[in-house]
Amino acid sequence: MAYKHAILASLLLILAGCESTQVHAKADKQTNAAPKWVMVPPASSNELLYAVGSAPITLNEELARKAAEESARAEIAKLIQVEVNATTEVNIASSNGSISSHFNEAIVNRAPRLELSGIQFKDSYIDKARNSAYILASFDKVQAIADLQTKIHFADGELNAWQSGMGDGLQKLRAAIGFKTQLFERQRLNQQLVFLANEGISLATGISLNNQLADQVLDSLSFSIEGSRDAALESKLAEMLNQQGIRVAASGQSDFSLTYQVRWRAMSRDNMFYSIADANVSLKHKNTILNTFKQKAKGVSSDPDYAKDKAIEKLGELFAQEMSEGLLATL
């Protein structure tokens, strides 16, 4: 009888051990199971939005989490529709065919992506079976609206108090570009506010007047063409630059100077003449080189002289855009 009791006790211990093992196994399985939000994000409300971002694990889990965070940001952006093409999302008023319009376009093209405020990363999950990382993000619309309003009011205070300043052409240029850049950022913030709150903050009259003043500063800048040793080239370039809204002045009387070094190549085919210009351009302020860039243009005509003129015209057209982008890179 004692022997039977011993066997029975041993069996009970074995069964207890098996049950314990099964409980731990079940707990481990529950611990490693994917959270519900991986497949179905929490329900969004008028104040709080949820989105899930994911990314494959290629190098390590930390990099995958970072990539999943960016994916979650993109999903939030889709929900609130703030990803708008940079060239159409804002209109900074200025006349076409003026140097200010070229600077405005360059500012838009160089603007960094607008970061969303109010995003928080609530949870993360690593799915080893699928070798993927998941991030649950939330977006607090109330907080985002308050943050946007604060940023816009701060920008309005600085924009309203802006003055064109004194000094030489470079100092005036920097002041005007600083204003234009801040104005563009302010208008992007306001557009995001409109998406979230259905109402933006109107631009004060004083800021609109300062914007016009900044345009006048940019349009008043003058350039001289020097060192080309080609009177015909300088004359034609001056004509084209004037058509682009760039004021050309005599040497020593301008805010900036341009040095063109052009290498010409000519060829003919089927009674047509091709004139190809490879130009190196240096943009200077006083004795300081601000930027250098290369230009390439081609003119085609049945007349060789006219083909060359067309190539010079294209050089002038290219310069306006490249000059504004080049100057912005140095400021």
Q: Can you give the pLDDT at residue 208?
A: 94
Question: What is the percent of the chain with per-residue pLDDT over 90, rounded to a whole number?
Answer: 30
In degrees, rounded to 5, the angle at the alpha carbon of residue 31 between the alpha carbons of residues 29 and 33 is: 65
- 179-231 pLDDT per residue, tens: 999 999 999 899 888 888 889 999 999 999 999 999 999 888 888 888 767 77
DSSP string covering 71-113: HHHHHHHHHHT----TTTS------TTSHHHHHHHHHHHHPPP
Q: Can you give the pLDDT at residue 114?
A: 66
Q: Can you give the pLDDT at residue 91?
A: 47
The dihedral through the CA atoms of 13, 18, 22, 27 has a sign that is positive
- Indicate the pLDDT class of residue 32, thresholds 50, 70 and 90: low
| Domain extents in the chain | 36-89+117-141, 143-220, 222-330
What is the pLDDT of the chain when averaged over all its residues?
A: 80
Q: Can you give the pLDDT at residue 210?
A: 95
Residue type, 15: L
Q: Can you give the pLDDT at residue 27?
A: 30
**pLDDT higher than threshold 80 for residue 330:** no
**pLDDT higher than threshold 50 for residue 41:** yes
Q: Can you give the pLDDT at residue 84?
A: 39
Strand partners, 13: none
Q: What CATH architecture is 36-89+117-141?
A: 2-Layer Sandwich (3.30)
Q: Let me know: does 159 contact 175? Beta carbons within 8 Å.
A: no
Q: Let me know: does 163 contact 56? Beta carbons within 8 Å.
A: no
Which residues neighbour 182 within 8 Å (Cβ) at sequence distance 6 or greater? 155, 158, 159
- Phi/psi at 130 (5° precision): -95, 0
- 58-111 pLDDT per residue, tens: 888 999 999 999 999 888 888 776 443 333 344 444 445 677 888 888 888 777
Lowest mean pLDDT among 27-41, 89-103, 127-141, 317-331: 89-103
CA distance 42 to 38: 10
Residue type, 41: P
Q: Can you give the pLDDT at residue 292?
A: 86
Strand partners, 265: 276
CATH number of 222-330: 3.30.160.150
More confident residue, 177 or 10: 177
- 291-310 pLDDT per residue, tens: 888 889 899 999 988 998 89
**pLDDT higher than threshold 60 for residue 120:** yes
